Amino acid sequence: MSIDIREVNSETLDVSLWIANNERFYKLSLYCKDYGEFVDILHKRGEYHTPGGVLWADPNVNVKEVNELEFNER
């Protein structure tokens, strides 16, 4: 399935862009099997928001899309 980035909601886009473009988040994502594991690790570190202010566990984040965009080819 291909995702049209123009149709991704702002919370999902924020999360995906931070994972893809921030070295620390990107490196962490390489060790995680999916977005759920990524968020669990961040929460254990006391990090609940992206630097853009979106909750990592915001209910508006489309986890399926984040997994496809950032974790699919691992």
pLDDT score of 2: 65
Is the pTM for the entire model greater than 0.85? yes
The whole-angstrom separation of Cα 61 and Cα 13 is 8
Is the pLDDT assigned to residue 1 strictly greater than 60? no
**Which two three-digit tokens encode residue 56?**
């990592």
Residues counted in the chain? 74
Domain count, the chain: 1
List the domain range (segments joined by +) for residue 43.
5-71
How does residue 74 score in pLDDT terms, banded at 50, 70 and 90? low
pLDDT in tens, 17-51: 999 999 999 999 999 999 999 999 999 999 999 99
Work out the end-to-end distance of the chain between its first and last CA atoms, rounded to an integer number of angstroms: 16
pLDDT in tens, 46-58: 999 999 999 999 9
